[in-house]
């Protein structure tokens, strides 16, 4: 449950060293996996997103925040633990109306904000990296009734692994831009275990989608889950 600052800081610092801080055009679709174009787009957050309040947990460089603000006219806040990432996100997409970025641990942000959201989402972000019973409860408190939670995580059975047999986290790695790997702790649940945790917080799971690139992946690589507040 401790903030895993250093691998993410190291990741951001390496990336920043190679990417110029400049305004970028937002991508034309939302990505839930590491393969562009694979799986659903933003419609799983709600059909009409214009004017809706959205929150991304662990936004990194802010590509999905930028897409949702520019192409769906949503009002989106991206939160990330690492100040460098948020600086990078602002340099790329800070000019886009409706896109805003904040530095912080997602639990602290959710506990401190007075706002509620129509949808809260995470793309390989903080969901799975923070104790689920704490994070899901904090998310549920900040969703409006009928609000949507959607998150993608590395598939728990990727590359021959097996989902956790219990509720404990286990060791995983972040691959740095220079291909070195740094250890992190991750909760690696299958869809049933996520559904059970989600159900305890006043949300109800609505879909669990396994994403696998038909040519490039031997295994499902991404688990994408959606839920709705009762």
**Interface positions with ligand SAM (CB under 6 A):** 3-4, 8, 58-61, 63, 79-82, 85, 105-106, 123-126, 129-130
Strand partners, 53: 75
Q: Judged by CB, which is closer to ligand SAM: 4, or 70?
A: 4
Q: Judged by CB, which is closer to ligand SAM: 85, or 140?
A: 85
Tell me how far, at minimum, the Cβ of 145 lies from ligand SAM, in Å. 25
DSSP 208-224: EEEE--TTT-SS--EEE
Tell me how far, at minimum, the Cβ of 230 lies from ligand SAM, in Å. 26
Q: Which residues of 124-142 are buried (b: 16+ CB within 10 A; e: fewer)?
A: bbbbbbbebeebbbbbbeb
Q: Judged by CB, which is closer to ligand SAM: 43, or 146?
A: 43
For the chain, the C-alpha Rg in angstroms (whole number) is: 16
Q: How many helices (H) and strands (E) does the chain have?
A: 6, 9
Q: How far apart are CA 41 and CA 136, in angstroms?
A: 23
Q: How far apart are CA 52 and CA 173, in angstroms?
A: 35
Neighbours of 218 (CB within 10 A): 10
Q: Judged by CB, which is closer to ligand SAM: 6, or 146?
A: 6
Enumerate residues 6+ apart whose C-beta is below 8 A from 39: 32, 33, 209, 211, 222, 224
Show the tokens assigned to 163: 């989902």
Q: Judged by CB, which is closer to ligand SAM: 163, or 177?
A: 177
State the maximum Cα–Cα separation within the chain, in Å, rounded to a whole number. Answer: 45
Tell me how far, at minimum, the Cβ of 26 lies from ligand SAM, in Å. 13
Q: Judged by CB, which is closer to ligand SAM: 99, or 106?
A: 106
């Amino acid at each position: 449950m401790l903030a895993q600052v250093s691998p993410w800081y190291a990741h951001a610092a390496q990336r920043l060293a190679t990417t110029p801080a400049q305004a970028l055009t937002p991508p034309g679709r939302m990505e839930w996996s590491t393969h562009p174009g694979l799986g659903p787009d933003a419609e799983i957050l709600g059909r009409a997103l214009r004017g809706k309040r959205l929150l991304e947990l662990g936004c990194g460089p802010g590509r999905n925040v930028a897409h949702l603000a520019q192409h769906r006219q949503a009002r989106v806040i991206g939160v990330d633990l690492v100040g460098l990432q948020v600086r990078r996100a602002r340099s790329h997409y800070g000019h886009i109306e409706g896109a805003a970025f904040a530095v912080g641990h997602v639990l602290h942000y959710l506990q401190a904000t007075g706002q509620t959201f129509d949808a809260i989402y995470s793309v390989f972000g903080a969901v799975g990296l923070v104790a689920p019973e704490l994070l899901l409860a904090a998310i549920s408190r900040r969703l409006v009734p009928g609000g949507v939670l959607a998150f993608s995580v590395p598939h728990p059975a990727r590359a021959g692994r097996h989902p956790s047999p219990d509720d404990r986290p286990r060791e995983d790695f972040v691959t740095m831009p220079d291909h070195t790997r740094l250890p992190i702790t991750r909760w690696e649940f299958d869809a049933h275990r996520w559904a059970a945790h989600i159900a305890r917080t006043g949300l109800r799971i609505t879909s669990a989608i396994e994403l696998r690139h038909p040519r490039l992946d031997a295994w499902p690589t991404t688990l994408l889950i959606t839920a709705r507040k009762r």
